[in-house]
Amino acid sequence: MTKKKFSEEVTLEGHIIDSWMLPRAFDTIMDMGGTFDVAEIQVGRAKDQASFARLDVHADSERQLENILLELQSFGATLASRNDVACEPAPADGVLPPEFYSTTHLPTQVRLGGHWVDVQNTEMDLVIVVDPERGEARMVPSASVVKGQLIAVGHEGIRIIPPERPREREIFSFMGSNVSSEHPKRLVIDEIAREMRAIRARGGKVAVVAGPAIVHSGAGPLLAKIIREGYVQVLFGGNAICTHDVESVLFGTSLGVALDTGQPVPHGHRNHMAAINTIRGCGSLRQAVDQGVLKEGIMYECVKNNVELVLAGSVRDDGPMPDVIVDVQQAQRKMRAALEGVEMALMIATMLQSIYTCKMLKASVKVFAVDINPAVATKLADRGTFQALGLVTDAELFIRELSDALAICEKQEAKAKKPAKA
């Protein structure tokens, strides 16, 4: 064995076992050609005790050592570095200094004036704008960066807090190696229902990202009911679910197929365009509701229940509906704002909006991605956290079972509260 000439001490602290920080550190060092000695290791005996490890990392070159240290840092190791975060000004609006630091979806801190400061907002692939005078830092999308703003660069003086694996929450342990289509999904659906009720009870927020197949498969009225009952605070979708929903309410069809018989109706293919035209005639969804044109359905319930509705445009849109935001950057900004405070996101049969929603969510938000295509469910659930679960199943039947599970939960809770008779 060739002796490694370059060394540095690294400390790992916190939930280093539960966050898999320690084994990933071992692996990373060896994968990248380095070696290490475990100088010290203390494993907390209980859940609330922190663990601690001190490693001496060895490498063959300064560059290799640097690469290893940066990689360790990316999942939570704290370098021995005592420096503040380095910053450089943005050379132009929306343009970053070349060495900009790209963020993760994990809680992040920067060192300013020798102190670790929480970075405001948490979102993947943003940059950190630093205000040294105020001792503040926040994540912003690169497109919003203004010339001259100080952008965090390099890796020094930046650290992230890795997520802890929630051992007591059984629902996510399906995740293990695979997103499977064969696990008992009703167990998961029951758990989602309990969680939705708990969030509603404490005034929290649930976001639903909804694809058009929900309406097309006849499950629209059930989702509308779930919204009406107050389980949904944020709804993201596109032109398609909006148009399908309005078409189903106005004409009883979805893409020209009658929802009560499954049969195409004569000339039904134009109902889609006629639905858009009707709402365009009213001016907006809200105006259609106010004018008594739109009297039920998913969109109606969103309007009536003050759900934060963001309909993002896409190049495949017909029409579009007047409420659809055709500027995708603007749509992203509205989505970002609406996600503030969301505790759970339910993504049903829609890949496009879901991908960006996933990116915008910080690691601690619970994510359930429902899709009949295993590749989509896997992609959406693949967040590197212990809080995401992909369900390979049918959107229609999922919503039916969820609606049923919510009703059963309600009954059980009502029963539990009822005082025993004297």
- Distances in Å between the alpha carbon of 408 and those of 7, 195, 229, 403, 417? 60, 13, 14, 9, 14
- What does the block give as tokens for 65? 């050592």
Instruction: Report the distance separating Cα 37 and Cα 391, nearest Å.
Output: 41
User: CB neighbours of 369 closer than 8 A, spacing ≥ 6?
Assistant: 347, 354, 358, 376, 377, 380, 381, 388, 389, 390, 391
State which residue, 71 or 301, has the beta carbon closest to its own copies.
71
- What does the block give as tokens for 129? 């704008």
Q: Which of 257, 307, 339, 369 binds its own copies (CB under 8 A)?
A: 257
Read off φ and ψ for residue 45, nearest 5 degrees: -80, -30
The residue among 397, 384, 396 whose CA lies nearest residue 175 is: 384
| Interface with its own copies in residues 119-158 (CB under 8 A) | 125, 127, 142-143
x/- contact string, 29-48, with its own copies (CB under 8 A)? -xxx--xxxx--xxx-xx-x
| Interface with its own copies in residues 395-414 (CB under 8 A) | 396-398, 400-401
Instruction: Report the distance separating Cα 171 and Cα 189, nearest Å.
Output: 10
Q: Which of 161, 293, 372, 409 binds its own copies (CB under 8 A)?
A: 372
Return the range that interacts with its own copies (CB under 8 A); candidates 78-86, 129-137, 287-295, 354-362.
Answer: 354-362
The DSSP call for residue 264 is B
State which residue, 74 or 305, has the beta carbon closest to its own copies.
74
Return the range that interacts with its own copies (CB under 8 A); candidates 5-13, 81-89, 321-329, 407-415.
Answer: 321-329
- What does the block give as tokens for 254? 């979805």
State which residue, 177 or 306, has the beta carbon closest to its own copies.
177
CB of 178 to its own copies, least distance (A): 6
Return the range that interacts with its own copies (CB under 8 A); candidates 192-200, 224-232, 265-273, 338-346.
Answer: 265-273
| Interface with its own copies in residues 282-311 (CB under 8 A) | none
Q: Tell me the number of residues near its own copies by CB under 8 A.
A: 113
Give yes or no for residue 336 binding its own copies (CB under 8 A).
no
Contact 160, 116 (CB under 8 A): no
Contact 380, 371 (CB under 8 A): yes
Give yes or no for residue 378 binding its own copies (CB under 8 A).
yes
Give yes or no for residue 171 binding its own copies (CB under 8 A).
yes
CB of 77 to its own copies, least distance (A): 14
Q: Which of 201, 315, 414, 416 binds its own copies (CB under 8 A)?
A: 315
Instruction: Report the distance separating Cα 23 and Cα 16, nearest Å.
Output: 9
| Interface with its own copies in residues 174-193 (CB under 8 A) | 174, 177-178, 181-188
Q: Cite the beta strand spans of 90-171 per DSSP E.
A: 108-112, 115-118, 127-131, 136-140, 150-153, 158-160
| Interface with its own copies in residues 4-23 (CB under 8 A) | 17-18, 20, 22-23
Return the range that interacts with its own copies (CB under 8 A); candidates 5-13, 90-98, 288-296, 361-369.
Answer: 90-98
Return the range that interacts with its own copies (CB under 8 A); candidates 225-233, 256-264, 300-308, 407-415.
Answer: 256-264
Strand (E) or helix (H) holding 286: helix 285-290
